[in-house]
Each structure stands twice: as C-alpha cells, then as structure tokens.
Structure 1
Amino acid sequence: MCCDTPDQKKNEKKAWKVLTERVNHFYRTGKIEEIVKIRKNQIGSGMRGDKRRTYRQKDNMVIDHINNKRGLLSLVLKGNLEILHK
C-alpha cells in the first residue's frame, strides 16, 4: 500500500494521505463520541459520592459505601472480602 514506488518521499506522502483519510473517516462516523461516552460512564465523575470503598489504615477499617458494611482492614488485605458482602 505505501510502497508502490521506489521513491521514499512519494511513499511517505501517500501513507500520510491514507492515514489522514482513515482518521477523518473515524471521526465522521461518530465512533469517537461513542467511545468517549462509554469511558465517561465507566469512570464516573470522580466526585466524592462515586466512591465504592474507603480504606482507613489508622483505624484499621474498611467501609463499603454500596451496602454500608464495615470490616477490619487487616482481614481485607489478607483477602477476606466476604466480610464486606455478608
């Protein structure tokens, strides 16, 4: 595709043209907006209300904000996550 002629400059020019066309097509089809929307839904707003859990080392406490369960941080760090889901 990009190596049609023995001239490197012409090949580079053609490759840039093809790449530009592909990028423009991607933006025109609206796929970029869809990807941005999906990303924003997955990430959330980043505000304080979006948090799932709080890990407080000084109090040896874990708080799950979804189901309002609390547990010991030392147990959770050892892999015992069941205490937050009971």
Structure 2
Amino acid sequence: MSYHQIFYQIIFATKNRCKTITEAHCEELYKYIWGIIKNKKCKLYRINGTEDHIHIFSDLHPSISLADYIYCEPLFDPFGAASSTYFYSHS
C-alpha cells in the first residue's frame, strides 16, 4: 500500500473580478463549497477570500481527477457562466 498526499490551492475569481461576493454570505458560501468538497471524498483544509475571489486549500482523493474536482455541475451551466445568483449581489 502506498501513501500519497497532494495539496492544491485553487482560486476562483468572479466574472470580470467584480466585487460581488458579499461578506454577509461568505460563511454560508464557504459551508456550501465545503459540502461539495466533502461529497467528492476530499478534505478541505482552508477556505477564504474577498469580494472578488475565493482561495481553496485542500487535498484530492485518489479516485477523482483534478478536472472532476474543480467542475461542479450545480454551480455552472454548459456555457461556463455562473447559474446561481444566490450568493451574489448585483449593482
């Protein structure tokens, strides 16, 4: 049996770096992302961000590819645009 541990720091930015992630929704957004990561059998070590981007520091389960880890069907439509506006405020 071999041992592996690879850490990834993944950064998601808002479209055009618009400051749309409000502080009021950060905790709920981070919990939602943590749930997605947990369902993929990965471990979240740290999540943080600002109004225009989010940093995720986690490991990757051996059964999942990096591409599958990053892609989340509920968050993105087939054209690559965010389909959920729950966590975003529009000015």
**TM class, shorter-length:** under 0.3
- Tell me which of the two structures has the higher relative contact order, counting C-alpha pairs closer than 8 angstroms and 6 or more residues apart: 2
Task: Write 1 or 2 for the structure with the bigger share of strand.
Answer: 2
TM-score (norm 1): 0.25
Which of the pair has more CA radius of gyration?
1
State the TM-score, normalized to the length of structure 2.
0.24
Which structure shows the bigger proportion of residues in helix conformation? 1
